[in-house]
Amino acid sequence: MSSFFKIPIDKLLSKIVMGGNVGIDFNDSQWGIVHGLEEHRFWVHISARRTGKSLAAAILAFDKLLEPGTQVMVVAPNFTLSSIIWDYVTDIIKNLGIEVDRFNQKDKVVKLINGSVFRLLSANNRDSLVGRAAHFIIVDEAAIIPDDEYFTRDLRPALSTYPDSRALFISTPRGKANYLYSYYQRGQDPEVDTWGSGLFTWRSNPLLSEADIADARRSISKKVFAQEYECDWSTTEQQVYMLDQETHIKDLTEVKQNLHKYEIIAGLDVGYRDQNAFVVIATDGEQFFVIDEDISDEITTSQLANRVKEMEERWSIDMIYLDSAAQQLKADLAYDFDIFSENAIKSVNDGINFVSSLVDNNRIFFDEETALKTFNAMAGYKWNPKTDLPKTIHDDNSHPSDAVRYAIYTYIKKSVSIYTG
């Protein structure tokens, strides 16, 4: 198979000027991009922060531009993010004195004297992606783009004109629910030879010292560090709870068979126009076991009451903690159905922080058969990135997550108040 990069990368690296110095060395992650593109038409490159993935992509883009008549495109979630590679490429062109036929800073297009064109595009502007042929497409910060329609509908046809074209996706992970995870998994499948993928943690960059990493650990949360430096697919920085299937899903048969050892509490969150969530939790005061759940959509008060009553009798529930905003429902349950509850403490972020500490210290578990919906909801529960103050996204994951928080946080706070006076 002929080489995709006609200009030898190592020779080009010896000419690149960075920080006043001539010549740079690629680290393992950066060479991983080169080898991946030589061997696969589509390469998904997952690498940690500060491993130089954008710089490497820019140098590879420039390498292709040196081939006459080559079309290279960089696509990113928006122009702000894509300008990183644009700045690298245009700086290299200027530093090496490459003659330019056209330089349009506003539209982000450069045409070299050899006819090659370098173009910057935003995934937010789908119309700009249509109808362009390309030899090499780089998708920067790919996991931040909400879905893959920009590629399947708009960019994939752009690669059909030239038989030896390539697409490179570079990013840190953003959770397994993201389309890029499925692309990464496709690249790991040996039967799909056109696709390949690689994952490189911070250790691939020898310039990062243990002191640098220790400082990063101190300055950001455990979840963000796992995502940005360890390339952990299981979490995103927007994820509220860092749950892990292998750790937090258990066979809780023994707990269910020895309920006399535990207090049984429950949380009820009422959705009215969407979901109602009722969760049952066994606790010894230190560990919390979610042993049952009832998730329902748009049911009447009497139907909800019948479900709660059945669960109350099945598990001999000691106390139900109910959304304090649902006072009419609380009264109806008590007077009409003989179901008594207490108002839950609705200090949202304090409650979330407490439940997060249980997750991080492996003190909360979910039954593998009867509490999977609650686990999946809490695993998918996310912060809203568009708000200045910490606020969660309201969706189908909210109600089971709230019900668990109501039960555990209120139980803990009230227990503390009893013993401390």
Instruction: Give the model's pLDDT for residue 29.
Output: 96
pTM: 0.61
The Cα–Cα gap between 159 and 75 comes to 14
- CB 83 within 8 Å of CB 144: no
Structure tokens at 87: 């700045």
Contacts of 72 (CB under 8 A, 6+ apart): 61, 64, 65, 116, 117, 118, 119, 134, 135, 136, 137, 138
Quick check: 290 pLDDT over 90? yes
| Weakest mean pLDDT among 31-40, 70-79, 175-184, 211-220 | 211-220
Quick check: 418 pLDDT over 60? no
Structure tokens at 43: 């390469």
Instruction: Give the model's pLDDT for residue 22.
Output: 84
Averaged pLDDT, 310-329: 94
Query: By C-alpha distance, which of 160, 4, 170 is closest to 74?
Result: 170
Instruction: Give the model's pLDDT for residue 419.
Output: 39
Instruction: Give the model's pLDDT for residue 403.
Output: 96
> With pLDDT > 90 as the criterion, what percentage of the chain qualifies?
58
Averaged pLDDT, 43-71: 95
From 67, 141, 263, 342, active-site residue: 141
Structure tokens at 328: 């009419």
Q: Could you give the maximum distance between any two Cα atoms of the chain, in Å? A: 84
Residue 42 binned pLDDT confidence (cut-offs 50, 70, 90): very high
Quick check: 81 pLDDT over 80? no
Instruction: Give the model's pLDDT for residue 79.
Output: 67
Domain 9-213 has CATH 3.40.50.300: yes
Instruction: Give the model's pLDDT for residue 421.
Output: 38
Instruction: Give the model's pLDDT for residue 417.
Output: 46
- CB 120 within 8 Å of CB 82: yes
CA pseudo-torsion sign 317, 294, 233, 237: negative
Averaged pLDDT, 148-176: 87
Domain 245-420 has CATH 3.30.420.280: yes
pLDDT digits (tens, 9 = 90+) for 330-377: 999 999 999 999 999 988 888 988 998 899 889 999 999 999 999 999
Domain boundaries, the chain: 9-213, 245-420
The Cα–Cα gap between 112 and 374 comes to 56
Residue 76 binned pLDDT confidence (cut-offs 50, 70, 90): confident
Residue 4 binned pLDDT confidence (cut-offs 50, 70, 90): very high
- Cβ-count burial of 81 within 10 angstroms (0-12 exposed, 13-18 middle, 19+ buried)? middle
Instruction: Give the model's pLDDT for residue 225.
Output: 83
Instruction: Give the model's pLDDT for residue 186.
Output: 95
Instruction: Give the model's pLDDT for residue 389.
Output: 60
Other Cβ atoms closer than 10 A to 178: 21
| Weakest mean pLDDT among 182-196, 210-224, 352-366, 401-415 | 210-224
Catalytic, 141? Answer: yes
Quick check: 237 pLDDT over 70? no
pLDDT digits (tens, 9 = 90+) for 404-416: 999 999 999 987 5
pLDDT digits (tens, 9 = 90+) for 83-112: 789 999 999 999 899 999 999 888 889 999
- CB 208 within 8 Å of CB 200: no
Residue 218 binned pLDDT confidence (cut-offs 50, 70, 90): confident
Contacts of 266 (CB under 8 A, 6+ apart): 278, 279, 280, 281, 311, 312, 315, 317, 319, 320, 321, 407
pLDDT digits (tens, 9 = 90+) for 271-289: 767 789 999 999 999 999 9
Query: By C-alpha distance, which of 317, 314, 309 is closest to 282?
Result: 317
Instruction: Give the model's pLDDT for residue 235.
Output: 67
395 φ, ψ to 5°? -155, -165
- CB 5 within 8 Å of CB 173: no
Q: What is the mean pLDDT of the chain?
A: 88
